[in-house]
Amino acid sequence: MDKTIKILAEVSGKSLRLDKFLAEKIKTLTRSQIKKIINSKGVRVNKKIVISASEKVKDRSEIEVLIETKGNNDYIEPKKIGLNIIYDDREIIIVDKPSGLTVHPGAGNKSNTLVNGLMHIYKNSLSNLGGSFRPGIVHRIDKETSGLIVIARNNFTHAKLSEQFSDHTVKRKYIALVWGVIRPLKGKISTLISRSKKNRQLMSVSNIKGKTAITNYKTIKVFNVKNIPKISLIECILETGRTHQIRVHLSYKGNPLLGDKKYGKKKLKFRKIDQNFFKILTNFNRQALHAKTLGFIHPKTKKLVNFESKMPQDFQKMLSYLKNLAIEKS
């Protein structure tokens, strides 16, 4: 059922914005989440609906905040999926997600997601701030991207983790294989990213509108071997976490990810290609992107925690073959 929080405002001195005041009073919600509730007409001040987050709170005002929790878990089918959980406690769960697994239910996929697997194991012991079909979900990685994701087991933890993601203090390191040699070999990509005008399901770099997106990268190794196009192994560290950010930025630089069907090369044509490599590439059914490390301040202990994921087998197979060829060449 939905929950209503009632607050009698006590304001002395300088008045506060409504969203800031509520964020200080309701510790389980972030300021951005409170803004969404205000925008959806979920806040009343003295019995009147308020739709402006900048509304000033006056002393002795009666404030009601409606938090929608109805159906949070009722419509999600628990399913045994065999998740690789590398850590959990009463506050957080760290999952090493395989490629091919969608994070939460959506159109066309209601039962074969990470959330369905979490519901099978943890049942109702997950936060509900993310909405009806996203219990515990604080952030996401793409379906065909593998690697680490943190899950919140309660609303306090969810709110604290969300603040860290909003403040860009969460440390996330990705490993990627890209076509060609990125120039310069080390640098920062800083652009605006918005919905593509040609395809609303895709994102694109924009010069005039969108959200700021910053990706730091460095080249670990360039593979320049016979009968294989140049391929680079790079490391990406996110300052922001926009939808498809790394994929969009690397494509924008002219160095799309291997296997990226949306932002990469549409058709692979080679004059002459190493057949063993071509077989590995053909069987590599996803983009070559792996969320390798994840670090943040634990909401309860207030200590920095860091987690690391092993390279997936398909990624490692391709990387090992390239490394072996490079050794043979030298």
Catalytic residue IDs:
142
Please, are residues 276 and 227 in contact by the beta-carbon 8 Å criterion?
Answer: no
Q: Tell me the C-alpha distance between 125 and 103, whole Å.
A: 17
Query: How far is Cα 228 from Cα 225, in angstroms, rounded to an integer?
Result: 6
- Listing DSSP states for 215-266 in one string gives EEEEEEEEE--TTS--EEEEEEEESS--TTHHHHHHHHTT-PBTT-TTTS-S
Going by C-alpha positions, the residue among 159, 115, 121 that lies closest to residue 135 is: 115
Q: Tell me, what DSSP letter sits at residue 185? A: S
DSSP, collapsed to helix, strand or coil, labels residue 163 as: helix
Entry field: residues in the chain: 330
